[in-house]
Chains A and B, each alone.
Chain A
Amino acid sequence: DAGITQSPRHKVTETGTPVTLRCHQTENHRYMYWYRQDPGHGLRLIHYSYGVKDTDKGEVSDGYSVSRSKTEDFLLTLESATSSQTSVYFCAIRGIAGGPGDEQFFGPGTRLTVL
């Protein structure tokens, strides 16, 4: 158990509303990631963080923003949710060995439905 929790686990919202997903880790890892999983696409990187207040865009960042004010929390915000953002969202942390090929540990996921 890598000590990663995601909240909420399930959410249904309406188009145009803001949504924030939270990832919390207890392992004091530097690197954190947000992915979305969609059928036929596998997992795609949305944003990642390499330290407090240090974040960068991934492959599918349009419509998403992130914040990391504390080591343990990485927030993903949909400023104005759209139906295309209906997905399962996974948070991950990078192993602390610090070398190439570090494993990433994944949280349990958040299933988001935008109506």
Chain B
Amino acid sequence: AQSVTQLGSHVSVSEGALVLLRCNYSSSVPPYLFWYVQYPNQGLQLLLKYTTGATLVKGINGFEAEFKKSETSFHLTKPSAHMSDAAEYFCAVSEDTGFQKLVFGTGTRLLVSP
């Protein structure tokens, strides 16, 4: 069965600092991996996804993630945090069963201080 582990329920950074949010997955087949962001009182919005091909994936708002099969990881990074990045971030995995059922991690809340 698929699963996702997000290390750290809260991550605090200063504005301008590197953002690193960790995601490790478990899947019996090549996975499809996603990062979603949730701003307060809103639904989820896709940041980026990995399906096949290039392992470094670029997303919206300056975020990127690298798929590392050997480490079963898909960590999210951004070189310089902005106050507007404060939100909750979810990593998710899907196997190609045709139904595209997502399994989410428990989320990481990013706090950005001035």
Give A contacts to B, CB under 8 Å: 4, 31, 33, 35, 40-45, 48, 50, 56, 58-59, 90, 92, 94, 99-109
Contact = CB atoms under 8 A, between A and B. Distances in A.
Closest 7 CB pairs of A and B: A101-B51, A106-B43, A101-B32, A42-B104, A100-B96, A106-B44, A43-B104
Contacts of B103: 45, 59
A40 B106 contact: yes
B43 A109 contact: yes
A102 B100 contact: yes
Contacts of B41: 109
Contacts of A108: 42-43
Contacts of B9: 40
B111 interface: no
Contacts of A50: 99
A90 B43 contact: yes
A42 B101 contact: no
Interface residues of B, number: 29
Interface of B: 4, 6, 9, 32, 34, 36, 41-46, 49-52, 90, 92, 94, 96, 99-107
Contact of A42 (B46, B50, B107): B107
A31 B43 contact: no
Contacts of A56: 99
